[in-house]
Chain A
Amino acid sequence: MLRLFGKARLGVQDFPGFGGFSFLFYLYLYAPILVLVIFSFNANQSATIWTGFSLDWYRAAFANQALRQAAGNSLLIAVCASLAATAIATLAALGTSRGARFKGMRLSIGAIMLPLVLPEIVVGVATLALFSTLGLSLGYGNLIIAHTVFCIPFAYLPIRARLDDMDLSLEQAAADLYAGQWRTFRKVTLPLLMPGIVSGLMLAFIVSLDNFVISMMVSQAGTTTLPIFIFGLLRMGVTPDVNAVSTLILGVSVLFVTLSYLLGKKKH
């Protein structure tokens, strides 16, 4: 084993500069995020000149009624859409990974991936066209439906990956011990699958929370979500309270991705 690692290191030395370049790449990935976080604590009115530490912009953000409303909308929609998408995706993952194959299975998987493949703006336009044709104006309902659809593949992928990783012999053992199909599912499959389901749920949740393009097309007056609200602020110019709100949203996303990652790493 040690010799193998030794050889691997020899490989890196073969390409000098790649390490330094990769370091710069990580810097490039995180520099804008760090600058944003730092300036959200800036005391100054100007968004890009540091004058001292302050929590004023967070206070201003929390005091903003319209902002709180938008955040509430975003949370409501993300919770409903991610729960619905995860339920649908769990069934779909079970259907495509357990039990017998059926005609059109590959096509079905293709359909499930479709929201991931199509350009976001096209999905937004199509959803708007549907609601406008049907004259459907459900307020939050419109957004929840739209978010549920594009969250399905994000929930499906980690659940499917977990199912494919799972050892079939446990389920077979349960069947050998005369557990019925439903009992096997409830007592063996579901508990083993749970980390995948939670991981998928969290990814669907942040994807919904962060979505801008589709929400912008579908939302109506009164159902403004947080990204739409931020976009409106940006149109009026860069102000430090945007930095504070943005930092909070980034914090939530990073927290959920990290939790999802740790769950995925959890051994069976």
Chain B
Amino acid sequence: MNPTSFVPGAQLARRQAMQSFLGVSPALVAIGLFLILPILIVVAYSLMEANPYGGVNRVFSTESYLSLLFERQLDDSLAFADSYLVIALRSAGIAAATTLVTLLVGFPVAVWLSMQPPHRRGLLIFLITVPFWANLLIRTYAWILLLRGSGVVNNSLMGLGLIDAPLQLLYTDGAVLLGLVYTYAPFVVLPIYACLEKMDMRLLEAAQDLYAGRLRTLRKVVLPIARPGILAGAILTFVPCLGAMIAPELLGGGTKMMLGNLIFRQFSDARNWPFGAALSLVLMAVVMLVLTLYALRAERQRLARGGV
């Protein structure tokens, strides 16, 4: 036996470690039992047969994974079908577009915030976070009031005489994009701001002293400092957008289907649980892949900087 284990200090440390672990254990039990175990059950479901009345038959089948890309013909042969692939690609496309637009919108706001006098920043940041906590369903619904045929935007435009007939704003890809940008903009502003907050303003002066124009200063000084925040904001937008359900449902009218809606329908209309399970796992795998790549990158940079 290791002689140091008789030293009371080591015993105390072990007791404290045990106490720490005891503190964390209820959380681990709750998450293990009601989140991790359920995901394993979803894996099992995805490998079973669909019960036509909803739920699953406990018979092994890879049908749900096959139907991601193929359609079974009458003669039982498989033919390539792209309808789900189209939805997946559309989800990725809309998520990417949302990420790009939120970055373009969020960056100037974060720069502006970081240059406000410190005593005013707290309130301004708080005002950006408030909508995040307000009910997403209701906030998205509020856009319907603005965008629909007899909505505020159309009425205003017609009142100004700019258009004669209401424009079709609702139930378009643009409306879904608008709603998603609205939802995720705070997720982009805050991490970029967190990076710029610590920026030494003398760098801007130095750049000017060296005759760098505004755009050049922005590109060569501000942008590199903001880069980790930009990356974090992009992830925080792209990942939840992939599985977004409310904006496509309400602002896309359910016709502009995204992965979230597709999964939801497999369960809500009790149509095909194994297929819904397989889709969920594909979505989760993509999300985990993005997050892992991000974590690995962050780890590499930490090591490159020689940090602890």
Q: A residues near B, CB below 8 A?
A: 4-5, 7-12, 14-19, 21-22, 25-26, 28-33, 35-36, 39, 46-49, 87-89, 91-92, 94-96, 98-103, 105, 108, 111-112, 114-115, 117-130, 132-133, 145-146, 148-149, 152, 156, 203, 206-207, 209-210, 212-213, 216-217, 227, 230-231, 234, 238, 242-243, 246, 249-250, 253-254, 256-258, 261, 265
Contact = CB atoms under 8 A, between A and B. Distances in A.
B150 A48 contact: yes
B35 A126 contact: yes
A33 B17 contact: no
B133 A11 contact: no
Contact of A125 (B109, B217, B239, B277): B277
Given A92-B27, A95-B22, A230-B141, A35 B152 contact: yes
A133 B111 contact: no
Contacts of A156: 27
A216 B186 CA distance: 25
A108 B185 contact: no
Contacts, number: 284
A168 to B, nearest CB: 14
B contact patch SS: helix
29 contacts: A5-B117, A10-B205, A17-B108, A25-B109, A28-B182, A29-B127, A29-B128, A36-B141, A95-B20, A95-B22, A99-B16, A99-B19, A99-B20, A100-B17, A100-B20, A112-B27, A119-B239, A119-B260, A121-B243, A121-B280, A122-B39, A123-B35, A126-B35, A126-B42, A128-B267, A146-B34, A152-B31, A238-B148, A254-B134
B60 interface: no
Interface string B269-295: 000010011001001100100010000
B24 A96 contact: yes
B90 interface: no
A261 B30 contact: no
Nearest to B34: A149
A22 B32 CA distance: 43
B92 interface: no
Nearest to A261: B126
B157 to A, nearest CB: 13
Contacts of B263: 121-122, 125
Contacts of B260: 119, 121, 213
Given A121-B264, A213-B260, 13 more contacts: A11-B204, A100-B14, A111-B32, A112-B24, A121-B260, A129-B273, A132-B55, A149-B34, A156-B27, A212-B136, A213-B246, A246-B138, A256-B133
Nearest to B107: A18
Interface of B: 13-14, 16-28, 30-32, 34-39, 41-42, 45, 55, 105, 108-109, 111-113, 115-117, 122, 126-131, 133-139, 141-146, 148, 150-152, 155, 182, 185-186, 201-202, 204-205, 208, 214, 217-218, 239-240, 242-243, 245-246, 250, 260, 263-264, 267-268, 273, 276-277, 280, 283-284, 287, 291
Nearest to A109: B24
A116 B239 CA distance: 11
Given A92-B27, A95-B23, A119-B243, A249 B138 contact: yes
Contacts of A29: 127-128, 131, 182, 185-186
Contacts of A115: 31, 35
